[in-house]
């Protein structure tokens, strides 16, 4: 199924819901499971990971961060995908999670069948990578950040799925469906001048200078009950800029909350059976700030070097005014 949509926040939510209602390409039955757990960690005095700005320390909470887990088992092999609302996932975080899983389940889970993907929000606590370059701006390793991620990811695979499902290894018989759509007015190239340095023959292959396609994988129980989705759309979770000091899952986290609340109704955030992950994809030079870079006070267009020559004002980009919380 292919869809096109020029979108604001409500229209974008309508598209992802429409994709799940239409139930496109179907695959053979699997045993499937979903789960969710909190990974928020310390919300004060820890430098955020993403902008590498040492004075961007947490000073409160905008949106809690979560890990969302999905199990696919075809009776021969099992695969686990976890989308975590953090800037990135370090090797040590993944290694510790797998170690905990193997202590619990033996060789059922390993580095071969466990994938952990970060949404790349720039508004969550840093200090968990154990690499000097990445932990430099947080002034070193932050144990609380590390433990929040490891424990949250581990819990979502073990207990989050238990709460939502039952049966062998916490999975249910179900099917997977894949939907595709094209979403306009939701992302832009943050370096359009640099993109023009690509060869003309290469640029001629594409309609846009960023990927506008959306892919969604739906998890549907055998009785037709929706269990969850994984959504991939190329956009940076940087609606919150580098002056923000509130811990946040940013735009993709807000999209997940909206979708889950739509399906789970009045269930508290992070407690419902339906789990919606808006995971990272090819988001490299892709910005959510669709209004583009403007001079702070005058509103004039910024120069090609993203400055405001002759003016005492900053250049920054912003997104749709219709989004309530961004």
Beta bridge partners, 6, equal 184
Where in 85-208 does DSSP place strands (E)? 114-118, 124-125, 172-184, 188-189
Distance from the Cα of residue 229 to its chain's centroid:
12
Report how far apart, in Å, the C-alpha atoms of 279 and of each of 82, 253, 255 are: 9, 9, 11
CB atoms under 10 Å from CB of 72, counted, come to 20
Q: Name the nearest CA neighbour of 220 among 23, 71, 39.
A: 23
Supply the DSSP symbol for 223: T
Q: What number of other Cβ atoms are within 10 A of residue 40's Cβ?
A: 19
Spatial separation of the C-alpha atoms in residues 152 and 169, rounded to whole Å: 19
Q: At a CB cut-off of 8 Å and minimum separation 6, what does 111 contact? A: 94, 95, 98
DSSP 3-state of 210: coil
Select which of 69, 86, 281, 287 is catalytic. 287
Give CA–CA dist 271/297, Å, rounded.
42
**Phi (first) and psi of residue 177, to 5 degrees:** -130, 140
Tell me if 120 is assigned to a ligand binding site: yes
Nearest to 238 by CA among 194, 287, 205: 287
287 catalytically annotated: yes
Q: Is 225 annotated as a binding residue?
A: no
Provide the token pair at 43: 């919300």
Tokens of 217: 């994988």
Contact (Cβ atoms closer than 8 angstroms) between residue 46 and residue 59: no
6, HSE (Cβ side, Cα atoms, 13 Å)? 0
Q: Which two tokens stand for residue 298?
A: 């005058």
Residues marked as catalytic = 287
Binding residues: 120, 236
Binding residues for Zn(2+): 120, 236
């Amino acid at each position: 199924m292919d869809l096109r949509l020029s979108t604001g926040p409500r229209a974008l939510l309508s598209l992802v819901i429409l994709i799940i209602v239409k139930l496109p390409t179907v695959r053979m039955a699997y045993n499937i499971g979903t789960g969710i757990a909190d990974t928020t960690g310390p919300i004060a005095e820890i430098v955020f990971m993403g902008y590498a700005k040492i004075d961007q320390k947490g000073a409160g909470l905008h949106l809690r961060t979560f890990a969302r887990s999905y199990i696919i088992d075809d009776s021969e092999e099992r695969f686990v995908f976890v989308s975590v609302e953090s800037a990135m996932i370090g090797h040590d975080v993944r290694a510790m999670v797998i170690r905990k899983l193997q202590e619990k389940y033996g060789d059922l889970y390993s580095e071969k069948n466990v994938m952990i993907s970060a949404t790349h929000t720039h508004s969550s606590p840093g200090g968990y990578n154990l690499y000097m370059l990445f932990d430099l701006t947080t002034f070193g390793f932050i144990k609380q950040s590390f433990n929040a991620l490891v424990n949250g990811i581990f819990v979502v695979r073990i207990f989050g799925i238990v709460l939502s499902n039952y049966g062998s290894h916490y999975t249910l018989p179900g099917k997977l469906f894949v939907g595709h759509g094209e979403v306009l007015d939701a992302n832009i190239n943050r370096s359009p001048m640099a993109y023009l340095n690509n060869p003309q023959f290469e640029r001629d292959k594409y309609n846009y200078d960023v990927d506008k396609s959306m892919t969604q994988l739906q998890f549907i129980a055998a009785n037709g009950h929706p269990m969850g989705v994984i959504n991939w759309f190329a956009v940076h979770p940087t609606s919150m800029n580098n002056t923000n000091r509130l811990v946040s899952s940013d735009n993709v986290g807000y999209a997940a909350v909206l979708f889950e609340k739509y399906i789970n109704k009045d269930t508290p955030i992070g407690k419902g059976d339906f789990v919606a992950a808006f995971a990272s994809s090819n988001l490299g030079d892709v910005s959510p700030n669709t209004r583009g870079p403007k001079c702070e006070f005058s509103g004039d267009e910024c120069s090609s070097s993203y400055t405001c020559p002759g003016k005492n004002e900053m250049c920054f980009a912003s997104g749709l005014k219709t989004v309530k919380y961004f």
